[in-house]
Amino acid sequence: MATNQLKAFLDRKTEEYNRPLFITGDPVCIPHAFTKKQDIEIAALFAAVFAWGNRTTIIAKGRELMGLMDNAPHDFCLHAGKKELKRLLHFKHRTFSATDLLYFIEFLKDHYTRYDSLETAFSRWMQPGDRTIEKALCGFHTYFFSLEDAPHRTRKHIATPAKKSTCKRLNMLLRWMVREDNSGVDFGIWKTISPAQLVCPIDVHVARVARHFKMISRTQTDWYTALELTGYLCQLCPEDPVKYDFALFGLGVTEKF
């Protein structure tokens, strides 16, 4: 398929999936339950971290956690005492345990005590002129595990390009927070990172579709594959390449392309 034909096809698929109806069955519905910026950020972080496996289960566990946090995650992270934290001790989602959850909350409390938004946890590591968010992801990983009692087991839940991970879930979080259009799915509440700097979330489904259309040539799926895919998408829409995540995800997961 010629590049202009592929662009037209992906534009149609993006428009088909990038609409409010998409929200209900996707983990992005978890942060969409909130209006306060910090609540959206925290809910989005957990929804993204939980996002592997069955989407119905991911959404259920996200809602369960928000309920345990009194559906006010920012206030909970800042002010929860031993009694409130105790109710989290039986929470589990796949390999994400109460140990991981309690450290996440400790990190969020530490961060929000000093900063108004989670955005700075990523953007502060970037330099003017950075082409992608690679430094933001590497910096966030180091920063997230900078507290003295960071459990080693929790490291598997926050990826980094430094270990060649695709960082699929964090890239999805950043897409939600940074991208802004009129479709109502992505929030666009972070302004210091540009949509042009985002890296496309990639998993086995997206990679399968991308290889079918010869967008990527790498046989493995790692950070460099995510960059290769994003580079191709930049040819189609340099100012907002990651909008095509909707098309690739829809084709790969929903349509089993």
Residue 193: what pLDDT? 97
Q: Per-residue pLDDT averaged across 45-62, rounded? A: 96
Residue 11, Cβ density class (10 Å: 0-12 exposed, 13-18 middle, ≥19 buried) = middle
Q: Per-residue pLDDT averaged across 63-85, rounded? A: 98
Residue 197: what pLDDT? 98
The reported pTM is 0.97
User: For 120-165, what is each residue's pLDDT tens digit?
Assistant: 999 999 998 999 999 999 999 999 999 999 999 999 999 999 999 9
Q: Is the pLDDT of residue 95 over 80?
A: yes
CB distance 22 to 246 below 8 Å: yes
Distance CA 93, CA 51 (A): 10
User: For 1-21, what is each residue's pLDDT tens digit?
Assistant: 789 999 999 999 999 999 999
CA nearest to 38, candidates 85, 73, 76, 80: 73
Q: In which band, very low, low, confident or very high, does the pLDDT at 256 lie, cut at 50, 70 and 90?
A: confident
CB atoms within 10 A of CB 194: 15
Q: Per-residue pLDDT averaged across 188-207, rounded? A: 97
Q: Per-residue pLDDT averaged across 60-71, rounded? A: 98
Q: Residues 160, 162, 164, 166: is their CA dihedral positive or negative?
A: positive
Owner of token pair 């695709």: 166
Residue 128: what pLDDT? 87
Owner of token pair 């929790």: 154
- Domain spans in the chain, listed from the N-terminal domain onward: 3-254
Q: Is the pLDDT of residue 257 over 90?
A: no
- Angle, vertex CA 87, rays to CA 47 and CA 91, nearest 5: 40
DSSP state of 253: I
Q: Residues 135, 180, 120, 172: is their CA dihedral positive or negative?
A: negative
Q: Is the pLDDT of residue 61 over 90?
A: yes
